Amino acid sequence: MAKKPFDKFMNTRSNAAKKEGFRQAKREIKKEIAEGMARTKARKAEEAAQAKAIRAAGGVPTRNAHGARKTDAPAPHKPAHKAPRPETPQSKAAPKAPPHTDNPRPASPRPPAAPTEDRKFFVPAKPRKADSPEPRPIAPSAKVAARTRPVAPPKPRPARPETGEARPAAARPAPGSPAKAAPKAPSGPQMPLNKYIAHSGICSRREAADMVKEGVVKVNGKVITEPGHKIEKGDEVKVNGKKIVPTGNLVYILLNKPKDYITTSNDPEGRKTVIDLVRKATDERVYPVGRLDRNTTGVLLLTNDGELAQKLAHPAYEVKKVYEVRLDKELTKKDFDHIMAGVTLEDGPITPDALAYADSKDKSVIGIEIHSGKNRIVRRLFEHMGYTVKNLDRVMYAGLTKKNVDRGRWRFLAEKEVRLLKFLNTSFTRKKV
């Protein structure tokens, strides 16, 4: 192995000598690099000159296997045919033996190929002898014959047993013609009468059954007292003389009710109602679920789903409601404990589910959770304890809140919220209902 240029300086003991050795090695390396670059430059210039001379002579410079340009001059043109060898007595005496082959027939001479520029893809046709007979037609195979066999006409269908006439063959539609529509199913019974009334948005199915039994429902002019009576398509149903039509689109609207609005669908005195706030929301007839006083604000649900409205108003489902109450004075600890223990009003006892101070610094703001649906229950509860309710706001109803809904504004419920309402408290209310 050859030593590097600075190996001879590594055996010295002096540091100065080592440094000088490294400097000398660097100088030698730089010198070798410069000489190599000069040699490469000279070689390239020489190759360029040789390539120029080859082009002047009519040749084409090429490159070798390493990518370098070949500068050799083109080889002289070789003659197309070699000169014949002189005959010798030995070649005359010994005839040339034919090549060894298993085929006893002599090989026929190959016809000359037609002139073409690219003979690589040219396959000359073998000429037919003048005295050879015409080629016989090849009989088609069984598979080919089966494919080319003529198609038999369709067989007539068996005769109908009731008439004895033959059924006509079904004609296929012409390509591009519209497909034949499927026959419609005969119109049968759609739904029971009580369900029909509930879907009209008047009341729940249970209340509709009671109305039918009372005889206030007419179907096509006849009084029907059976709630399970099937309603056909096109039947006319009237309740108390008014025609009803089931709503095909159920609507659920959450409203953040402001003050001075009545929670009703129609007010005889002409006062503002909550329907006025959602009149542009839908063309369906919706009505409020539950009631809020005129001066009470907060979450209010409006829908045309009578069955869901009846469920939310039923006391067995214990729908939770959360209110924020602002009193005229601070609620004392004694009254706080008294309310949590239960208060007996004129219509019976009432016990809140939860009670807390909404603001630790202002004990006149109270949060109360209750599931009772009695009229004005929160106001009557605090008035019984000697307090005056200055402001009452419902912040939650059946899990629905007024988040991101300004006062006087509304929004539609999401599909998930509707599903939760329909299955709200179903697990423990089935036994009570």
Residue 323 has pLDDT above 80, yes or no: yes
Nearest to 339, CA basis, from 330, 351, 349 = 351
Query: Do 367 and 405 share a domain, yes or no?
Result: no
Query: Do 267 and 280 share a domain, yes or no?
Result: yes
Tell me whether residue 293 is one of the annotated catalytic residues.
Answer: yes
Query: Do 267 and 415 share a domain, yes or no?
Result: yes
Is there a domain that residue 88 lies in?
no
Backbone angles phi, psi at 299, to 5 degrees: -70, 130
Residue 61 has pLDDT above 50, yes or no: yes
- Cα 19 to Cα 2, 23, 240, distances in angstroms: 22, 6, 118
Domain with residue 289: its CATH number is 3.30.70.580
Residue 235 has pLDDT above 80, yes or no: yes
Is there a domain that residue 275 lies in?
yes
- Residues 326 and 283: their CA atoms lie apart, in Å, by 37
The predicted pLDDT at position 191 comes to: 82
What SS3 class is residue 176? coil
- Residues 105 and 44: their CA atoms lie apart, in Å, by 63
Query: Do 271 and 411 share a domain, yes or no?
Result: yes
Is there a domain that residue 32 lies in?
no
Is there a domain that residue 373 lies in?
yes
pLDDT level of residue 262 (50, 70, 90 thresholds): very high
- Residues 222 and 245: their CA atoms lie apart, in Å, by 17
pLDDT tens-digit map of 365-414: 999 999 888 888 999 999 999 999 999 999 999 999 999 999 999 999 99
Identify the domain containing residue 233 by its residue range.
191-244
Q: Which of the listed residues 244, 265, 284 is the one where a domain comes to its end?
A: 244
Between 269 and 200, name the one with better pLDDT: 269
For residue 177, give both structure tokens: 């013609």
The predicted pLDDT at position 308 comes to: 86
| Active-site annotation holder among 235, 267, 293, 335 | 293
Residue 114 has pLDDT above 80, yes or no: no
Between 305 and 103, name the one with better pLDDT: 305
Angle at 84 between CA 83 and CA 85, to 5 degrees: 115
Query: Do 324 and 368 share a domain, yes or no?
Result: yes
Query: Do 409 and 299 share a domain, yes or no?
Result: yes
Three-state secondary structure of 93-124: HCCCCCCCCCCCCCCCCCCCCCCCCCCCCCCC
The predicted pLDDT at position 310 comes to: 83
Query: Do 265 and 371 share a domain, yes or no?
Result: no
Is there a domain that residue 133 lies in?
no
Query: Do 423 and 309 share a domain, yes or no?
Result: yes
* Average pLDDT rounded to a whole number, residues 48-61: 81
Residue 136 has pLDDT above 70, yes or no: no
Query: Do 235 and 290 share a domain, yes or no?
Result: no
Q: Which of the listed residues 204, 224, 244 is the one where a domain comes to its end?
A: 244
pLDDT tens-digit map of 141-191: 555 555 555 556 666 665 554 444 444 444 454 444 444 333 333 344 468
Domain with residue 198: its CATH number is 3.10.290.10
Query: Do 236 and 251 share a domain, yes or no?
Result: no
The predicted pLDDT at position 113 comes to: 52
Radius of gyration of the chain (CA): 54
pLDDT tens-digit map of 327-376: 999 999 999 999 999 999 988 899 999 999 988 889 999 999 998 888 88
Query: Do 285 and 428 share a domain, yes or no?
Result: yes
Residue 391's beta-bridge partner residues? Answer: 326
Between 379 and 433, name the one with better pLDDT: 379
pLDDT level of residue 139 (50, 70, 90 thresholds): low
Domain with residue 369: its CATH number is 3.30.70.1560
* Average pLDDT rounded to a whole number, residues 231-254: 85
Residue 213 has pLDDT above 60, yes or no: yes
Q: How many Cβ atoms from other residues are within 10 Å of residue 311's Cβ? A: 23
Is there a domain that residue 339 lies in?
yes
The predicted pLDDT at position 149 comes to: 55
Residue type, 251: V
Three-state secondary structure of 368-403: EEECCCCCCHHHHHHHHCCCCEEEEEEEEECCEECC
Mean pLDDT of the chain: 75
Instruction: Give me the number of domains the chain comprises.
Output: 3
Query: Do 383 and 335 share a domain, yes or no?
Result: yes
Between 59 and 2, name the one with better pLDDT: 59
